[in-house]
């Protein structure tokens, strides 16, 4: 295959793999962001017996004190609940003072919410589960629930997806290493004459191998640059044109542009992959006693 065709086809293959990997990365970030946002809306409610005493409420708060750096407690007494309902529905016909059954329809309860943004998804739900286990057997606790169990499932699915994506990324990286290796191997084969001449005039193995190493790194880095640009343009397009059609996905805040450190990391990683891919082929260049190993003679 001619050199320009070989390099162009390899460039397209490698940039496609990089683009796919970057899109997966951005999608995972967007899904994590979505999970974070939804998780912060979740809260745990601990319903208490109607006859609960203040000392028992304090005892419950004491039980939860180890978690207070991560959670916020909000106690709602029956009076507060009634006031709240009357406040938000002033025209209502509920007369709590005349109807005991109605008055006790919503028992006193404590709402637990998270105070830290780093706690979301499965970690938040495992905290809620810990709290639930700790307080569920207390005599004055009616029940404790945090609902939104679908979020837990979403979080678990996202975790599995992340692990799967990491595995897939490893396979893709290996594919890129092999693709670069193949390109450089073909390149070396098409440069046999040049290599022979360089050996003839006393070039060291390092001098001969260096340009091929650089070619591998450059091929990989340019493919990554192309992929980064393509992904950035696509994100920009989604944020400006598509987010209005799909508001529930909150693309505006969830889908974010690749940061400068991500660009640098991407390019640096690509250079490393390129160097690795070409390095494996360079051991094929024999810069020592060539003929006796190949068995050529006149």
Rule CB under 8 A: which residues touch other proteins?
A: 193-194, 196-205, 207, 287-292, 295, 297-298
Cβ proximity to other proteins, 46 vs 208, nearer residue: 208
| CA count, 13 A, side-chain hemisphere, 105 | 11
CB of residue 4 to other proteins, shortest distance in Å: 14
d(CA 176, CA 216): 11
Return the number of the residue (57 or 198) whose C-beta is nearest other proteins.
Answer: 198
Burial class (CB in 10 A: 0-12, 13-18, 19+), 97: exposed
Q: How far is the CB of 7 from other proteins (least distance, A)?
A: 16
Consecutive H or E run containing 85: helix 78-88
Report phi then psi at 136, rounded to 5.
-60, -30
User: Considering the complex, what minimum distance in angstroms separates the CB of residue 193 from other proteins?
Assistant: 7
109 versus 209: smaller Cβ distance to other proteins: 209
CA distances from 167 to 67, 170, 261, 271 (A): 35, 5, 23, 21
Residue with Cβ nearer other proteins (152 or 199) = 199
For the CB of residue 291, give the shortest distance to other proteins in the complex, in Å.
4
CA 78 to CA 49: how far, in whole Å? Answer: 11
Q: How far is the CB of 28 from other proteins (least distance, A)?
A: 46
In eight-state DSSP terms, residue 111 is E
Token pair belonging to 282: 């360079």
Report the residue number, 146 or 212, with the smaller CB distance to other proteins.
212
């Amino acid at each position: 295959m001619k050199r320009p065709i070989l390099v162009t086809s390899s460039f397209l293959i490698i940039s496609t793999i990089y683009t796919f990997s970057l899109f997966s990365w951005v999608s995972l970030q967007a899904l994590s962001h979505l999970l974070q946002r939804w998780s912060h809306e979740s809260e745990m409610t601990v319903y208490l017996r109607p006859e609960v005493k203040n000392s028992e409420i304090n005892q419950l708060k004491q039980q939860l004190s180890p978690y207070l750096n991560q959670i916020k407690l909000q106690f709602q007494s029956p009076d507060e609940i009634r006031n709240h309902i009357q406040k938000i529905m002033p025209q209502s016909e509920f007369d709590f003072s005349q109807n005991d059954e109605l008055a006790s329809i919503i028992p006193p309860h404590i709402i637990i919410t998270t105070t830290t943004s780093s706690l979301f998804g499965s970690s938040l739900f495992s905290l809620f589960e810990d709290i639930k286990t700790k307080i569920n057997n207390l005599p004055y606790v009616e029940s404790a629930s945090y609902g939104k169990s679908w979020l837990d499932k979403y979080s678990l699915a996202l975790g599995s997806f992340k692990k799967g994506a990491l595995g897939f990324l490893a396979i893709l990286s290996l594919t890129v290493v092999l693709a670069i290796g193949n390109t450089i191997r073909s390149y070396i084969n098409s440069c046999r004459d040049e290599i022979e001449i360089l050996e003839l005039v006393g070039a060291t193995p390092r001098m001969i191998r260096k340009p091929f190493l650089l070619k591998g790194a450059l091929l990989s880095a340019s493919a990554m640059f192309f992929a980064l640009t393509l992904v950035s343009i696509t994100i920009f397009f989604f944020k400006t044109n598509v987010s209005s059609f799909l508001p529930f996905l909150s693309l505006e805040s969830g889908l974010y542009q690749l940061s400068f450190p991500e660009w640098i990391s991407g390019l640096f990683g690509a250079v490393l992959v390129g160097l690795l891919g070409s390095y494996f082929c360079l051991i094929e260049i024999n810069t020592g006693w060539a003929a006796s190993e190949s068995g050529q003679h006149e």
